[in-house]
């Protein structure tokens, strides 16, 4: 009898998780959370259920509740690197950078090949105002995985925040050699040349960014910046006549 009851509960749990995942794909985390919480009612020792609940809370920006459920998952499976990674993300979003760093380091210890955890660790050090440590982590990732664009992009962003736009631009060019469709690199180059007052180059790469990512959130502000450049610079640049609505 117990076996039949357990099978019924497992089936209900899977159905709740499936519905929750569908709501998450539809960007409806509140509805997803309801389904995930139902799954916990049937299976309180399943770490996947806690992970799902925590991700819904994270989307709802209720980081303390996400962390609470992840801590419960950790008590069940203390060697699951994914739990520590999610803990790190939630602590990072909750601006508790020291706890974020601790959990990302634990993630990497359990899974040294998890590159996203290494990137998030570097970001944590950036937010703790430790740029040298962040830079070393990005360098290490790139040395081991030279085609891992995300590390290049964050390294360039760090250099921009430090005011080294020339070196940042060099890295964005490196990214385009790996993937010339990576539109963020064109935006980065536009900003770098803009800051270096090389406006013809800035406009060229701003326009390339708009071409590659016409629906991007930054398009209107970048198009506006192109017009501003055209209105104040004596350099001959090919400017758009208006901003697309």
- Residue 232 is predicted with a pLDDT of 77
| Nearest alpha carbon to residue 84 among 97, 98, 101, 96 | 101
d(CA 74, CA 66): 12
Q: Which CATH number is associated with domain 7-73?
A: 1.25.40.10
Asked whether the predicted pLDDT for residue 2 surpasses 80, the reply is no
- Residue 193 is predicted with a pLDDT of 97
- Residue 167 is predicted with a pLDDT of 98
What is the model's pTM? 0.87
The two tokens of residue 41 are 């009612």
The model's confidence at residue 231, banded by pLDDT at 50, 70 and 90, is: confident
Instruction: Specify the DSSP class assigned to residue 161.
Output: H
∠ Cα 186 189 195 (to 5°): 145
The model's confidence at residue 5, banded by pLDDT at 50, 70 and 90, is: low
Instruction: Specify the DSSP class assigned to residue 245.
Output: -
d(CA 152, CA 168): 9
The model's confidence at residue 11, banded by pLDDT at 50, 70 and 90, is: confident
d(CA 36, CA 176): 41
d(CA 105, CA 92): 13
Q: Are 193 and 205 in contact (CB under 8 A)?
A: yes
Asked whether the predicted pLDDT for residue 39 surpasses 80, the reply is yes
Work out the percent of the chain whose per-residue pLDDT is above 70: 92
User: How would you write 103-126 as a 3-class SS string?
Assistant: HHHHHHHHCCCCHHHHHHHHHHHH
d(CA 222, CA 218): 6
Mean of the per-residue pLDDT values for the chain?
A: 92
Domain extents in the chain:
7-73
């Amino acid at each position: 009898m117990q076996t039949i009851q357990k099978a019924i509960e497992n089936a209900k749990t899977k159905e709740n998780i499936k519905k929750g995942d569908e709501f998450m794909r539809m960007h409806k985390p509140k509805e997803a959370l309801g389904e995930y919480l139902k799954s916990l009612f049937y299976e309180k020792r399943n770490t996947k259920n806690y992970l799902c609940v925590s991700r819904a809370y994270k989307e709802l920006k209720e980081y303390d509740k996400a962390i609470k459920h992840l801590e419960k998952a950790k008590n069940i499976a203390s060697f699951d690197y994914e739990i520590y990674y999610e803990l790190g993300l939630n602590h990072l979003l909750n601006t508790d950078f020291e706890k974020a760093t601790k959990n990302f380091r634990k993630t990497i210890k359990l899974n040294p090949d998890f590159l996203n955890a290494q990137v998030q660790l570097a970001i944590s050090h950036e937010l703790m105002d430790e740029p040298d440590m962040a830079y070393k982590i990005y360098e290490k990732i790139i040395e081991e995985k030279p085609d891992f664009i995300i590390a290049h992009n964050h390294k360039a962003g760090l250099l921009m925040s430090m005011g080294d736009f020339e070196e940042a631009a060099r890295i964005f060019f490196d990214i385009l050699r790996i993937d010339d469709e990576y539109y963020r690199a064109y935006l980065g180059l536009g900003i770098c040349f803009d800051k270096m007052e090389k406006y013809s180059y800035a406009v060229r790469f701003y326009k390339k960014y708009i071409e590659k990512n016409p629906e991007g959130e930054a398009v209107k502000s970048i198009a506006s910046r192109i017009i501003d450049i055209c209105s104040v610079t004596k350099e001959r640049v090919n400017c758009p006549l208006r901003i697309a609505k």
